[in-house]
Amino acid sequence: MKKTITIAALLSAAAINAQAADHTISLGYAQTDIEHVNEELRGLTLKYRYEGSGPVGFIASLTGTANTDNQLRVDPGPTVTTVSETTRSYGSFHIGPTYRINEVVSAYATVGYARFEIENKQLGRTTSKLEDESFAAGGGFEFNLSRSFAINTGVEFSEHLVDSRALTYSVSLGYRF
């Protein structure tokens, strides 16, 4: 009898916790626009959100974007050789509070760390590499479509390499549990 009561209590607690949908994990598309860089950097964003019984919660975000430009040469034979390659990458980690506005919408603000890197290669050898780290800030909204699914939209701001502003926009689909 004690085992049955214990198992029933554990299952009830698990059901109540699952019903609450306190956690959201989101994965989606991110795009970074950086001043003085002709093409945007594209990649992914991953977000984890915790919301307890009150209106205030917590969010953590990890974003990575990149792009590569190649200059090719056609040699006799016909052989294509990569003469030069420029790779740009951006990554950030943010944390911050969330606030539940109503049952569908919540807002968040974040602060964190951002890193921007440019690497140039000539005929496969690295010729130059620039790395810059900075403070980053962001904000966004999460829309709860149902008890299990959410859409997250956000923007991040950071400054790199002598006043080159980076804006990263993201849209992701989340699972609540």
* Domain CATH for 136: 2.40.160.20
Please say if the pLDDT value at position 109 is more than 90.
yes
Is the sign of the CA dihedral 55, 58, 132, 27 positive or negative?
negative
Q: How many domains does the chain fold into?
A: 1
Our CA dihedral for 6, 8, 13, 17, rounded to 10 degrees, sits at 140
13: in domain:
no
83: in domain:
yes
* DSSP structure string for 136-151: EEEEEEEEE-SSSEEE
Please say if the pLDDT value at position 83 is more than 90.
no
Please say if the pLDDT value at position 59 is more than 80.
yes
Quick: pLDDT tens for 114-147: 999 999 998 888 899 999 999 999 999 999 999 9
Q: How confident is the model at residue 16 (pLDDT cuts 50, 70, 90)?
A: very low
N-term to C-term CA, the chain: 31
Contact (Cβ atoms closer than 8 angstroms) between residue 150 and residue 26: yes
**What whole-number percentage of the chain has pLDDT above 90?**
68
Residue 101's domain comprises 21-176
pLDDT confidence of residue 136: 97
Distance in angstroms (rounded) separating the CA atoms of residues 177 and 167: 30
> Is the pTM value of this prediction over 0.85?
no
1: in domain:
no
pLDDT confidence of residue 17: 46
What is the arithmetic mean of pLDDT over 157-166?
Answer: 88
